[in-house]
Structure formats: structure tokens, C-alpha cells
């Protein structure tokens, strides 16, 4: 397994991986991610196994989530591992790479968000095992805190935000 920051020459391969995840409909989002990657706001981190792309995540130095933005925390986002490569430690390796990157950039803490439905169960367990704890603000929807009594759909935007001291 090899973990590295995406090289601009490999964007075409990254698109193929996104298609394998069935994320190809989010083309505008990922094109903005490439722009932000090129200007240093985020780093797109790629995992390969025996030369095959296996997963990715993003290290966002300018997160949208207000608490992380306020206190200057980077956020690990969009952690995804192709199903044929799961349960091999790739997700953990991607998170550890981001944590090391944060340390190298002199951050003392890092944030991460996780969805609340059962499809995120593996990620929820992984982040807890790796020492991430809820940030204490409750759940967020589209990176905005959800107020008591508010109703939100249980979808990919409903998250528990977590932090870890490095």
C-alpha cells in the first residue's frame, strides 16, 4: 500500500476511481476540489495497492464547518475506500497520513465528520478506535449546527463532527 498526495498528472486516473465509486455525477464538486488542491487549500490524498487506486480522502485546511474554521482546525473529509479494498487498513492509513501532514504543518488538532446512518458504521468505529471524540456541539447538517427540535433528513449531510489532539 502506498499513500501520497495526488499529482496533477494523475487527475484522469482519479476521475476513473470516482466513476468506480459512482461519484461521477459530482463532477462540479470534484473540479472545484482540483482547483482548491492546486491552490493549496486542500490536499487530495490517494491510496494505491499494487499500483491500483484503492481510496482517497481530502485534507482541508479551510473547512466550511464554523467551529473548525473559528479555531483553525484542518478537517479530514471524503474518506472513501473502494469496496474490493476494504478491511485492509486503507482507511486508517489515509487518516494517519492526514494526521502526519497536520503535524508537519504545525497543527495540534485535527477534525473529521462522520455520517450518522448505518452506512457509516465502519467509519464511526474507525474514528473512535483512532481517538476521535465528538466536538461537543451535537450534530451538524451541511456543516451547520442543528438546533434542538429541528428536523433534517438522515442523509450524507447529517454528521457528527469530531476532533483529535495530535
Domain boundary assignment for the chain: 2-165
pLDDT tier at 25, thresholds 50, 70, 90: low
Tell me, what's the pLDDT at 138?
A: 92
Topology at the third CATH level for domain 2-165: Aminopeptidase (3.40.630)
Q: Please say if the pLDDT value at position 23 is more than 80.
A: no
The three three-digit cell numbers of residue 55, written as one number: 481510496
User: In the structure grid, which three cell numbers stand for residue 83, read together?
Assistant: 469496496
The CA-to-CA distance between both ends of the chain, in Å, stands at 24
Write down the mean pLDDT value for the chain: 92
User: Strand, helix or coil at 144?
Assistant: strand
Q: What is the pTM of this model?
A: 0.91
Q: What is the rounded distance in angstroms from the CA atom of residue 124 to the CA atom of residue 139?
A: 14
- Percent of the chain whose pLDDT exceeds 70: 98
User: Residue 11: pLDDT above 70?
Assistant: yes
3-state secondary structure of 64: coil
Q: Using the 8-state DSSP alphabet, how is residue 6 labeled?
A: P
pLDDT attached to residue 112: 97
Gyration radius from the chain CA atoms: 15
pLDDT in tens, 107-145: 999 999 999 999 999 999 999 999 999 999 999 999 899
Mind listing the pLDDT tens digit for each residue in 62-108?
999 999 999 999 999 999 998 889 999 999 999 999 999 999 999 99
| Helical H segments across the chain, by residue range | 11-21, 27-38, 66-71, 90-104, 121-129
Amino acid at each position: 500500500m502506498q499513500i501520497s498526495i495526488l499529482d496533477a498528472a494523475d487527475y484522469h486516473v482519479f476521475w476513473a476511481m470516482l466513476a468506480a465509486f459512482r461519484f461521477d455525477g459530482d463532477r462540479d464538486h470534484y473540479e472545484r476540489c482540483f482547483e482548491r488542491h492546486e491552490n493549496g487549500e486542500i490536499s487530495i490524498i490517494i491510496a494505491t495497492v499494487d499500483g491500483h487506486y484503492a481510496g482517497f480522502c481530502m485534507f482541508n485546511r479551510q473547512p466550511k464547518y464554523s467551529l473548525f474554521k473559528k479555531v483553525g482546525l484542518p478537517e479530514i473529509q471524503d474518506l472513501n475506500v473502494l469496496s474490493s479494498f476494504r478491511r485492509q487498513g486503507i482507511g486508517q492509513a489515509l487518516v494517519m497520513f492526514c494526521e502526519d501532514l497536520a503535524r508537519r504543518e504545525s497543527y495540534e488538532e485535527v477534525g473529521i465528520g462522520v455520517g450518522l446512518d448505518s452506512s457509516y458504521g465502519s467509519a464511526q468505529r474507525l474514528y473512535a478506535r483512532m481517538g476521535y471524540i465528538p466536538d461537543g456541539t451535537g450534530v451538524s447538517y451541511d456543516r451547520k449546527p442543528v438546533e434542538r427540535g429541528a428536523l433534517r433528513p438522515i442523509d450524507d449531510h447529517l454528521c457528527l463532527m469530531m476532533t483529535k489532539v495530535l
